[in-house]
A = this chain, B = another copy of it.
Amino acid sequence: MSSTPGKRETDGRRPLRVDARTNRERILTVAEEVFGKGGQSASTEEVARLAGVGIATVFRHFPTKAALLEAVLVQRFDRLRDQAEARAHATDPGPAFFDFFRHLVADAAGKIAIGEALIDAGGDGGDEAARASDGLRRAVGALLQRAQRAGAVRDDVELPEVYALLVATSQASARAHLQEEVRARMLTIVFDGLAPDR
């Protein structure tokens, strides 16, 4: 019992607990990449292959494809929320808000592909994904409020319509495969609309 779990990753004597956790994380990371790209080859088998584990290992951690996809979505929402929260104390709340808006739109393609794969797999996102999605929404709300207090965003807009625009421009970017330049020009219009009276 003098071994230090998790320290010596390659000696083959790691306790199963750590091994299992590492496998789970590796599967999730690979799954996010595979399903985020979408397309025909996105399958649980492909995830197992690229993660270097057997399909049985994948199913031990995630009993169904829907469970795997939901875990990927939750991971993605949580990471985005962390990124939003990390900006909540930025010196300049205006750019913190607008840059994060731009970041979310750019990130959307993968998230939508995962969401669609989840629906195809018969899942509905589930409680965990809804909770994670709400967490991101709240974090965006905090960035918006700070930007409004700093005078960088007009104070007569509220989160529902701003979030609707965020979702709208994200989905359009992802689904319509907008060119980067068109996406940038589209966001310029939205950001000008959010600016206080010029």
Chain A residues within 8 Å of B, Cβ to Cβ:
157-158, 160-162, 164-165, 167-169, 171-172, 175-176, 178-179, 182-183, 185-186, 188-194, 197-198
Copies of this protein, total: 2
Q: Which residues of B contact A175 (CB under 8 A)?
A: 171
Closest-CB distance, A174 to chain B (whole angstroms): 10
A171 → chain B closest CB, angstroms: 6
Contact of A198 among B160, B168, B182, B197 (CB under 8 A): B197
Most buried by B among A164, A176, A190: A164
Known: A168-B168, A172-B164. A189 touches B194 (CB 8 A): yes
In Å, the complex CA distance between A67 and B111 comes to 32
A183 surroundings in chain B (CB, below 8 A): 164
Listed by A's residue number, 13 A-B pairs whose Cβ atoms lie within 8 Å are A160-B179, A161-B182, A164-B182, A165-B169, A165-B172, A165-B189, A165-B190, A168-B168, A168-B186, A171-B172, A190-B190, A191-B193, A192-B193
